[in-house]
Chain A
């Protein structure tokens, strides 16, 4: 459903700082896949997500979503296909706007916006209902500005916003890394619940090996801008941290991955 073909991205080309971030990477994501992506710092994880979402364009290669070539579509025009959550909980919501206003904006992802009221009475009821799923009490705080929420609440809200109109592909960029362990656990649990319930095709970049092994049906490790390994199905289900270390220990220079 999503295809990346021989995608290459080099930063600061032709200068002393030249860095090949993604090097001829090809990947075929099937509908319903939940792929976890690991890799040490500088392996190209974030660049991979940025290329997929259109933050910038590849130097070479093509990207297809549902058969149509989106390589040259700017970020805002890929929005109807993609939902993305960033590591920083502040990045997914507009702090000075209210909870219901943020939800209403997310509701129109990739759609035409007009001069109709941003939030109507019926929408408000709808939002109240879906917010109650989070069990954070936000359903009573629709008119509170998002700046009043904690990081975990904001990230939960972002997750709800991204999945309000179901994207063809959900991109999670270490979206629990900036949260305290307990909140992170709750957000990852919520992610699993939403992804499974809607059978969302998902790519989750994570710094946490256990998380990468525990969630999803497929795991990819990036190393120097290439796919180092790609494990799926039963082999993925049976995977343990020890085995990954045994097989790929040499590449796992980054201690943080083993936490």
Chain B
């Protein structure tokens, strides 16, 4: 029974895993590369959904809506960076502040707490109207989009500026003495991260056919769970591996979740299960007194 169940959940897990994979990719940039525990994510994910949904129902083209979602996400991330670097607000608190304020912003953007997109044309509508199983074109689209962004990210982190950004997370003092403004690196890095998260929100909203102001709750924990799963497979030695780990981890995470649901896990208990998963993954190395597994984070 389980193998058949597993088989049936593969397409939907692939689709969702890829769509949410950009959230994990964004979290890799902040938590792993910049060593900045950014909690803006829970607000920037619905931000992307809100922006794209509102623009689409106003009759704007989905492509333009997605571009706006990316820009808004970038700016939201930059604000968190500014709160931390310029106003010296603790990194966790800066993220919580932005996340909370974005809740109001998202409601303002949507004008109500949720928007239906089932009756309007989205970016994915042409793909869904093709005369084949909808999973084929949709999964292909997400696969190409997500991996294209992954490769661009890998390339960026191998440029001169990319090196400086990685060094900012690794050894801030050192790269500052080499003439890099680490505040700028932090602000831009968090911006890029949230641009990815917001893009993910924009795509997910169109994929599921609605956006809801509460759709970002627990996004960081789910993203962290994805990263932890992926890193168990691919490690985190290079940027390429970390980004791959995020995407594959996200797919496996969705697979585990849908399997759990099939086996009788109540949807309301999902966040509890995810949280426990993260606690175990982060906590076991500490109990074993291993130094390796410890998260290195700045600005806390």
Q: Which residues of A contact B (CB under 8 A)?
A: 53, 75-77, 79-80, 82-84, 86, 90-97, 101, 104-106, 108-111, 113-119, 145
Contact = CB atoms under 8 A, between A and B. Distances in A.
Interface residues of B, number: 23
A110 B164 CA distance: 12
Interface string B32-49: 000000000000000000
B180 A113 contact: yes
Closest 9 pairs (CB-CB, A-B): A79-B179, A113-B160, A94-B170, A110-B179, A118-B163, A94-B167, A109-B178, A94-B171, A115-B159
Contact of A84 (B163, B166, B167, B177): B177
Contact of B179 (A76, A91, A117, A119): A76
B150 to A, nearest CB: 18
B158 interface: yes
B271 interface: no
A91 B174 contact: yes
B178 A75 contact: no
Contacts of A90: 171
Given A76-B180, A80-B179, A93 B161 contact: no
B237 interface: yes
A115 B171 contact: no
A78 B164 CA distance: 17
Given A94-B170, A96-B166, A118 B176 contact: no
B166 A109 contact: no
Per DSSP, are chain B's interface residues mostly helix, strand or loop, or mixed?
Answer: helix
B170 A108 contact: no
Nearest to B32: A96
B164 A95 contact: no
Contacts of B160: 104, 108, 113-118
Contact of B178 (A86, A105, A119): A105
B9 interface: no
Interface string B152-188: 0000101111111011001101111111111000000
Given A97-B163, A114-B160, A76 B174 contact: no
B178 A118 contact: no
Nearest to A119: B158
Given A95-B171, A96-B170, A105-B163, 5 more contacts: A76-B179, A97-B163, A114-B161, A117-B158, A117-B160
Contacts of B176: 75-76, 79
Contact of A145 (B159, B161, B237): B237
A213 to B, nearest CB: 28
A218 B162 CA distance: 41
Contacts of A80: 179
23 contacts: A75-B176, A75-B177, A79-B176, A79-B180, A80-B179, A82-B177, A86-B173, A90-B171, A91-B171, A91-B173, A94-B174, A97-B167, A105-B163, A105-B167, A105-B175, A105-B178, A106-B178, A108-B160, A109-B179, A113-B163, A115-B156, A116-B159, A145-B237
A79 B164 CA distance: 14
A79 B160 CA distance: 16
Contacts of A104: 160, 163
Contacts of A145: 237
Nearest to B296: A96
A91 B167 CA distance: 11
A84 B178 CA distance: 9
A75 B166 CA distance: 19
A80 B163 CA distance: 18
A97 B170 contact: yes
A101 to B, nearest CB: 6
Contacts of A75: 176-177
Contacts of A97: 163, 166-167, 170
B256 to A, nearest CB: 29
